[in-house]
Structure 1
Amino acid sequence: MCVPTLWSFGLFMPTISLTLGFDQLGLSPKVFAKVSALKFQSPTPIQSGAVPIALKGVDVIGIAQTGTGKTLAFSLPMLERLRPTEFGLVLAPTRELAMQIEETLHKLGVSTALIIGGASINQQVHALRARPQVVVATPGRLIDHMDRRSVNLRHAGIVVLDEADRMLDMGFAPAIRRILAATPPRRQTMMFSATMPPEVRKLSEEFMEDPETVEVTPAGTPVERIQQEVTYIPHANKPEALNYLLEEHAGTVLVFARTRHGARKVAKALRTANHSACEIHSDRTMAQRKDALTGFKSGRYRVMVATDIAARGIDVKEIELVVNYDLPDNPEDYVHR
């Protein structure tokens, strides 16, 4: 069966302001002052829904699309509720998402340890020994530290699973179960996901206690205010069509390829055509991926070519165009892209 080529592109409009303010979420004056200093105007729907519930100390399931402010939705309750003898643990599916979560926590004045693959284990051990307020980790590397006994999760007072559906898609279910089993039974658990497949629901039933659910949008709903278009073209005409789209749109562009080989090939062709393009996929080193993401955010690179490893980890403002150069393997990945 012939699978059509899908070009999805959208113009991101300014976020609609809500009548609810951060001063109405139940935050302490100290935490509210930190939020105000960062110039956040008003909470997003997931923040308005999840923060007041999480401040009560109950378990929370948040269903919201990528890029809707979930990081702040769990970071603010962490700031309020963590005791001096406890630390917070945030699990994320990719290095890029973990780095961006850490970046947000740093802006709030939170000390962290970033535990991800591709970075020095010895430096991570040093960071863990410094008793950070929050540990941000990918499951695989955290398991490495558990095996080395360089991390003790018995004092993890709040545990967050961010992009839970993606972590299960990537085969992290056994690692997540082992990690959660090593944390205190009387912890607070928050789970955030854009979709709610049976595997995620089963995980919540195993490790969460009477969670309250905040569903901002129905699970698996494409982001609103994005113009979506589809073009049917022969495979051989894709490079020419992509160049045409880049000429028609002057802003930043995110291009998704299905494989790392495809991403390399597309990025190379774009650079040959004098486009400033970077790439993120599993063949790139941690330093290369960090440089690509930083350069894309700063405008040094106009085009980023990525595999789905980055679909849930890129938080870049004002992206004008998103191109699905290849169709994703499943519908949920289309939503995240």
Structure 2
Amino acid sequence: MIETKPQKVYSFNGLGIAPRILEILTELGYLTPTPIQWQSIPASLAGKDLVGIAQTGTGKTLAFSIPMIQLLAVRKGRGLVVLPTRELALQVDEHLKIIGGKIGLRTAVLIGGEPIGKQLNALKRKPHIIIATPGRLVDHAQRRTVNLMDVKILILDEADMMLDMGFLPQIKEILKLVPKQRQTMLFSATMPNQIIKIASEYMALPTRIEVAPSGTAAENVEQEIIVIDRESKFGYLKRILAETKGSVLIFARTKHSVKKLAQKIGQAGFSAAEIHSNRSLGQRRMALNGFKLGQYRILVATDIAARGIDVKEIELVINYDLPEKSGDYVHRIGRTGRAGKSGKAISFVLPGQLKNVREIERLISKTLKINKIAPDHNASRESIDIAGQRRGARTNFSRKFKSFDKNKKRFVGDSFNKSRGPRNQRRSYNYAPRPMTDKEKFRRSMLRGRM
């Protein structure tokens, strides 16, 4: 790959962008390009294949949207944008319409969860750009409802996330369906071996541009680690939510824990919405739009939304559960502190998870501020743990007996174990046989006489 050196450019004027698009950018308030934009736009406008490595919130969408709109205005053919999630597809479509809608740009969104008929109608209007998730795009190709042989510009956005979600077979199928003579731009937060292989096999001497490489967290995000036990987590969360006036994005590990946590937050008197894979596309869209418009101050989400939420001015990100992968920590906190503004990220960590914190620190090359919260002994024993399961007071009674005397009709030398917790902490109570009454002695003698 050809390495590029950044050039000092402080506005969009020197990047080769068409005057009409510059006017639109000025009207929309885009005056200063981000590093990924001012490094990638000139190479893209020159028709070069490009690999852009940058974290979320660095302006990648605009970096490929501007060149694609400008090039398609003078070229025959269409553009194709492939992304991992529905939310990302809808947001890219929104960006393209804002910029290209004023010059007659038509788009079609092909994603799961929407009726095929609606998408067929959009394809009949001969869109200039198709935005699609891999699975639904391959589905259309198999139905022969879309022809990709006229694709001149291909964008693979959030490529590493698509690989993590298991879309590699679909990506390879799409690369076979598009013409070999095309311009390809690949954007990713990380550069695993599979992406290097895709770039070498399916791209023509791509220019590599790296801005904020893997593990780079936003400098203007204040990060804090809270070491806390499970039973105290929700009580401390309520305290933080009461003290925070702006919008809050909360991440939990599983869809089950997201649902339960959103319910508990609502019951505590806060307005909250939830996004996870069990929600329909309409429900996810309503939740995200409600969060953007201020209808919901709090949004609870799984990692599927970490790179799919583009909401301005999120004041606080809370990791109620630590992510499974350290790299996802960077994507999560990247939802705040965007566009040069400051933000804050708080992560709840169980006492036994400090090794995970060390992994995150090694990844971001930064020592995190750690505060320990004393256990809340008044907290309810019933809470949502890191796996999304209920954990409450548990009492387990078990009896173990040494022997049973048939003649005495009772247990002899019995050992009663009342257990709660590890076996070595169980309390044992040993009972000696009580003296027999005269009636019991007479009954025993009668039984022996019969024998």
User: TM-score, structure 2 length as denominator?
Assistant: 0.70
Tell me the distance in 2 between the aligned counterparts of 1:84 and 1:216: 29
Secondary structure of the residue that 2:310 maps to in structure 1?
Answer: coil
Deviates more, 1:258-267 or 1:198-207: 198-207
| Structure 2 equivalent of residue 226 of structure 1 | 221
Within the alignment, does 1:123 sit opposite 2:118 as a pair?
Answer: yes
Within the alignment, does 1:60 sit opposite 2:54 as a pair?
Answer: no
Cα contact 1:105–1:111 (8 A) shared by 2? no
| Structure 1 equivalent of residue 153 of structure 2 | 158
Cα contact 2:25–2:31 (8 A) shared by 1? no
Cα contact 1:194–1:219 (8 A) shared by 2? yes
Tell me the distance in 1 between the aligned counterparts of 2:89 and 2:55: 17
Aligned residues: 320
Within the alignment, does 1:268 sit opposite 2:229 as a pair?
Answer: no
Cα contact 2:246–2:297 (8 A) shared by 1? yes
| Structure 1 equivalent of residue 25 of structure 2 | 35
Decide which of 228, 249, 252 is 1:254's aligned counterpart. Answer: 249
Within the alignment, does 1:318 sit opposite 2:309 as a pair?
Answer: no
Decide which of 10, 16, 22 is 1:26's aligned counterpart. Answer: 16
Secondary structure of the residue that 1:51 maps to in structure 2?
Answer: helix
Give the root-mean-square deviation of aligned CA atoms: 1.2
Tell me the distance in 2 between the aligned counterparts of 1:96 and 1:19: 32
How far residue 216 of structure 1 moved from its aligned partner, in angstroms, is: 1.2
Q: Which letter maps to 1:210?
A: L
| Structure 1 equivalent of residue 96 of structure 2 | 105
| Structure 2 equivalent of residue 90 of structure 1 | 81
Within the alignment, does 1:133 sit opposite 2:124 as a pair?
Answer: no
| Structure 1 equivalent of residue 181 of structure 2 | 186
How far residue 236 of structure 1 moved from its aligned partner, in angstroms, is: 2.1
Deviation beyond 4 Å, 4+ runs, structure 1: none
Tell me the distance in 2 between the aligned counterparts of 1:334 and 1:149: 40
Q: Which letter maps to 1:145?
A: H
More strand by share: 2
Decide which of 164, 167, 170 is 1:169's aligned counterpart. Answer: 164
Cα contact 2:262–2:300 (8 A) shared by 1? yes
Q: Which letter maps to 2:192?
A: P
Tell me the distance in 2 between the aligned counterparts of 1:67 and 1:60: 19
Tell me the distance in 1 between the aligned counterparts of 2:248 and 2:289: 15
Cα contact 1:276–1:303 (8 A) shared by 2? yes
| Structure 1 equivalent of residue 60 of structure 2 | 70
User: TM-score, structure 1 length as denominator?
Assistant: 0.93
Tell me the distance in 2 between the aligned counterparts of 1:215 and 1:34: 27
CA displacement 1:95-147 (0-9 Å, x = unmatched): 01110000000101131101111111111011112111110011011111111
Secondary structure of the residue that 2:227 maps to in structure 1?
Answer: coil
Q: Which letter maps to 1:171?
A: G
Q: Which letter maps to 1:85?
A: K
Secondary structure of the residue that 1:262 maps to in structure 2?
Answer: helix
Larger radius of gyration: 2
How far residue 314 of structure 1 moved from its aligned partner, in angstroms, is: 0.5
Q: Which letter maps to 2:45?
A: L
| Structure 2 equivalent of residue 9 of structure 1 | none
Tell me the distance in 2 between the aligned counterparts of 1:97 and 1:244: 32
How far residue 218 of structure 1 moved from its aligned partner, in angstroms, is: 2.1
How far residue 19 of structure 1 moved from its aligned partner, in angstroms, is: 5.6
Tell me the distance in 2 between the aligned counterparts of 1:121 and 1:223: 39
CA displacement 1:311-334 (0-9 Å, x = unmatched): 001011111110111111111211
How far residue 248 of structure 1 moved from its aligned partner, in angstroms, is: 2.1
Could you tell me which runs of 5 or more consecutive residues in structure 1 were left unpaired when the two chains were aligned. 1-17
How far residue 20 of structure 1 moved from its aligned partner, in angstroms, is: 1.3
Cα contact 1:116–1:138 (8 A) shared by 2? yes
Q: Which letter maps to 2:330?
A: V
Secondary structure of the residue that 1:46 maps to in structure 2?
Answer: helix
Cα contact 1:91–1:138 (8 A) shared by 2? yes
Q: Which letter maps to 1:128?
A: L
CA 1:195 to 1:220, structure 2 compared with 1: closer, same or farther past 3 Å?
farther
